[in-house]
Amino acid sequence: MIIRLVEYLQERLQTVIAVCYVLMAGLTIWGSVVAYHSHHTHMFFEKWPGFWSLFGLVACFGLLIVAKWLGNCVKTREDYYDD
Partner 1 sequence: MIDFWLHPAFILIVGALLLPIMKNPVVRRPFLVLVPVLTFAQILAVNAKPGVYGVVSYLNWNLTFGRVDNLSTIFAFIMGLMCIIGTVYGMHDKNQFQHMASWFYAAGSLGVIYCADYLVLFLFWEMMSFGSVFLIWCAKGPKALKAGYRYLFVHTAGGLFLLAGFVLRYQATGGDLFFGPLDVANPQLYTYLIAIGLIVNAAVPPFHSWLPDAYAEATFNGSVFLCAFTTKTAIYACIRALSGMDLLIPLGLVMILGAIIYGIMENDSRRVLAWDIISQVGYMVVGIGIGTPLAINGAAAHAVVHILYKSLLFMGVGSVMYMTGKTKLTELGGLYKKMPVTMFLTLIGGLSVSAFPLFCAFVSKAMIITAAMNEHMMWTGYLLLVGSAGPFVYVCLKLVYYIFFGEECDADTMDKAAEPPVNMKIAMMFGAFMCVLVGTYVPFLYNMLPFQFVEYHPYGAYHIAETLQILAFAGFGFFVFRKYLKPTDTISIDLDWIYRMFGRGFYWFDKMVVERVDTWVSRIWDFVLITILMQVSKFWSWFDWHAIDGVVDGLARSVRSLGGQVRRLQSGQIQYNIYFAATVMAIAIFAYAFAS
State CA 60 to chain mean position distance: 6
Contacting partner 1 (CB under 8 A), which of 2, 13, 14, 44? 2
Contact pattern from residue 58 through residue 77 relative to partner 1, giving x for each residue in contact according to CB under 8 A and a dash for the rest: -xxxxxx-xxx-xx--xxxx
Cα(14)–Cα(11) distance, integer angstroms: 8
8-state DSSP, 48:
S
Cα(53)–Cα(24) distance, integer angstroms: 8
Cα(66)–Cα(60) distance, integer angstroms: 10
Contacting partner 1 (CB under 8 A), which of 16, 40, 48, 49? 40
Q: Which residues would be at the binding site for partner 1 (CB under 8 A)?
A: 2-3, 6, 20, 23-24, 27-28, 30-31, 34-35, 38, 40-43, 50, 52-57, 59-64, 66-68, 70-71, 74-78, 80-81
